[in-house]
Structure 1
Amino acid sequence: MRQVWLCHQGTLIYVGQDENKQCLCPPNYYGNRCQYQNQRVSLTLRLQNENLGKFNVIGVIVGLVDNTGLIHSHEQFTYIPGPDCNTKFDIYLLYRDRPKDMTKNYTIHIEAYDKINLRFLTTWKLPVKFNFMPVNRESALLVIPSLHKCHTLCNSKYLKQQNGSHTKSCQCQSNHSRMISNSQDQCDCSPDSICVGIVNKRSICLCPLTKI
């Protein structure tokens, strides 16, 4: 009988002719038997759009960033307003260190781009409020505003609110990513893509529809 229980929350595999037992762990567990839980942020997202065509394809990048600007982890997914209008996106964001640095504050940065022309659409910042907890569970309904509303939102009152936990947002003062904490010349993305940031010396690239 194969001992599938050995890997707890992971998947047991057999390697080589001797069928040595190894465990493949999901992101939220680690250890040789997937017996330990990673400290993490568990995020559930739903998106809505305003005045975007239902055939738009939107690239969404989610990152866990500390108060020094360091990106700890990230995820990227594609949102199509028609088919995905009721879809919930479940994301695990891991801290870089075990255990995490309790002296730092952490924020979830979310950015949305039009995948057809790589035009920036909007950004959100969600604070991780309970830093003492090993697992933080967050959920948000994010509204992608129409472009003309982004223009009218750029006033002093709105800019003061940008550090809050609101979920309807626009980027007013810059055309490039807010998530990026390194110099753009450190990125190695292709010329027709966008560099959103760097994690563990690897670039986070947003590619057009024709590339991966």
Structure 2
Amino acid sequence: MGAARAGAGRRVGRPRAAQRPDSGLEPREELLAAAAELFTSLGYAATSTRAVAERAGMRQASMYHYVSGKEELLALLLESTVTPSLAYARELLADDATPAEKRLWELCRADVEVLCGGPHNLGVLYLLPEVRDERFAGFHAVRDELKDAYRQLIAATAAGGALSKGALELRTDLVFGLIEGVILVRRSDPDRSVSVFAEATADAALRIAGV
């Protein structure tokens, strides 16, 4: 970081380990960016807090000034893959003037763009065994709320309204599974056009939903 930002948003006594080009990010965001790169390229277990700190251009001790450790970074990254879609889902649920089928398609499209639109395939972090732990309850809570938004939109369609409770739950599981499954497709074909991929996935999701 340049000298002009050396003290911005920081406390005294938290010097950088090395100079880096100014990314325009605050220290916490720099740590998240570094963690995203290392967790998805090297693996979560193989990435040390020292490596994250050094990649962000700070000393390891300084890292704990902004986050509690590697676990918090993982939790924040996981939640970042869900919270934008959840916020949009809430807007779509409140939009009674738009047909449910169109809202469902739009949520599927937007959700895929969130999962695939960043510089790193953060969705692969879902596959980590550590994520099943109760320590990531915050991520699971927002993910469950997003999945329920899918269920409500499917139920609001003409096809979904005719389903039994069990059939509706199954359709929701299948649609939600398809959306989250894009992380595996992106891993095998990272150069695929995100917008085209998102629209094609939304089309497929509506067919699964019976629309």
What is the TM-score with the length of structure 2 in the denominator?
Answer: 0.23
More strand by share: 1
What is the TM-score with the length of structure 1 in the denominator?
Answer: 0.23
Tell me: higher relative CO, structure 1 or 2? Use CA pairs within 8 A at least 6 residues apart.
2
More helix by share: 2
